[in-house]
């Protein structure tokens, strides 16, 4: 008769693992049950993120004035560009008031509001270079007025400290943008629109490039298309929302 081997330590450990995994299984069931009503919304958000990827691949910054139903099923940069360029040309009388309302609700002073009014009218008149060259300095001015000035700091042209603080202190809802599209806009703010450009670099070689503050200020690149102009208006809206929310958050601390 074979004697049964007895390892009490192993048996005790096995019992503990069984109890732990049983608890984990029950916890996971609870998590799944709690998430179940939200799964459709989560799936839609993930789909919207992928749409944002398609827009960025075509060189567009995802923004709330872009009807997601219009671009949800588009494939490839050529189709995205064709549809969006036609949309903004044909529907500017509807899009312009949407952008104007957004600028009016982010703590801009009269000078900034007048500047953005001129930028919107310039876009409507197809003066796209004017938009790009006008808007970025106004973002700088509002950053000095509402963030760097109260701190007694000058701030740099690339707004490095401000942009880092936007990421550390705020959440996506502070930027007034559509769900996961915030991630695309934030990435553009950090990596594209304020990247340092030198004379041996050409942003035009990058098919996903966006208007760049440094390249515009020093005349390295001419951002002269309707898409350039719209992207500039979009990143301005994103930055103005962030500056306003950050300024208010600092006041509250």
- Asked if the structure places residue 217 within a domain, the reply is yes
- Asked if the structure places residue 26 within a domain, the reply is no
> What whole-number distance in Å separates Cα of residue 192 and Cα of residue 201?
13
Is the pLDDT higher at 32 or at 129? 129
Is the pLDDT at 3 greater than 80? The verdict is no
Q: Band the pLDDT of 124: cuts 50, 70, 90.
A: very high
- Asked if the structure places residue 39 within a domain, the reply is no
> What whole-number distance in Å separates Cα of residue 138 and Cα of residue 118?
12
- Asked if the structure places residue 18 within a domain, the reply is no
pLDDT in tens, 146-160: 999 877 666 677 898
- Asked if the structure places residue 215 within a domain, the reply is yes
Domain total in the chain: 1
Burial of 250 (0-12, 13-18, 19+ CB in 10 A): middle
- Asked if the structure places residue 230 within a domain, the reply is yes
Residues 142 and 241: beta-carbon distance below 8 Å:
no
54-58, 127-131, 216-220: least confidently modelled range: 216-220
pTM reported for the whole predicted model? 0.81
- Asked if the structure places residue 8 within a domain, the reply is no
Q: Any alpha helices (H) in the chain, and if so which ranges? A: 8-35, 39-57, 68-71, 77-90, 92-104, 110-124, 128-143, 149-151, 160-169, 181-191, 213-217, 226-252
- Asked if the structure places residue 9 within a domain, the reply is no
Domain that holds residue 89: 48-252
The mean per-residue pLDDT over the stretch 55-81 comes to 91
pLDDT in tens, 46-60: 778 888 899 998 999
């Amino acid at each position: 008769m074979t004697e049964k081997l007895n390892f009490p330590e192993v048996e005790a450990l096995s019992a503990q693992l069984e109890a732990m995994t049983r608890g984990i299984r029950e916890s996971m069931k609870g998590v799944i049950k709690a998430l179940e009503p939200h799964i459709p919304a989560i799936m839609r958000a993930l789909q919207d993120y992928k749409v944002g990827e398609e827009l960025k691949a075509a060189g567009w910054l995802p923004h709330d004035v872009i009807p997601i139903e219009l671009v949800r099923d588009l494939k490839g940069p050529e189709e995205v560009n064709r549809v969006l360029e036609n949309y903004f040309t044909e529907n500017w009388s509807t899009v312009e008031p949407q952008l104007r309302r957004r600028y009016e609700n982010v703590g801009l002073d009269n000078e900034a509001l007048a500047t953005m009014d001129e930028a919107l009218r310039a876009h409507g008149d197809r003066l796209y270079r004017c938009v790009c060259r006008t808007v970025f300095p106004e973002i700088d001015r509002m950053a000095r007025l509402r963030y760097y000035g109260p701190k007694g700091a000058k701030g740099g042209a690339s707004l490095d400290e401000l942009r880092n603080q936007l990421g550390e202190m705020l959440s996506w809802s502070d930027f007034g943008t559509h769900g996961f599209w915030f991630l695309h806009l934030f990435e553009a703010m950090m990596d594209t629109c304020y990247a340092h450009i030198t004379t041996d670099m050409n942003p035009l070689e990058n098919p996903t490039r966006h208007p760049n503050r440094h390249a515009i200020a020093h005349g390295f690149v001419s951002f002269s298309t309707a898409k350039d102009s719209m992207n500039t208006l979009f990143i301005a809206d994103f930055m103005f929302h962030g500056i306003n929310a950050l300024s208010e958050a600092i006041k509250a601390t």
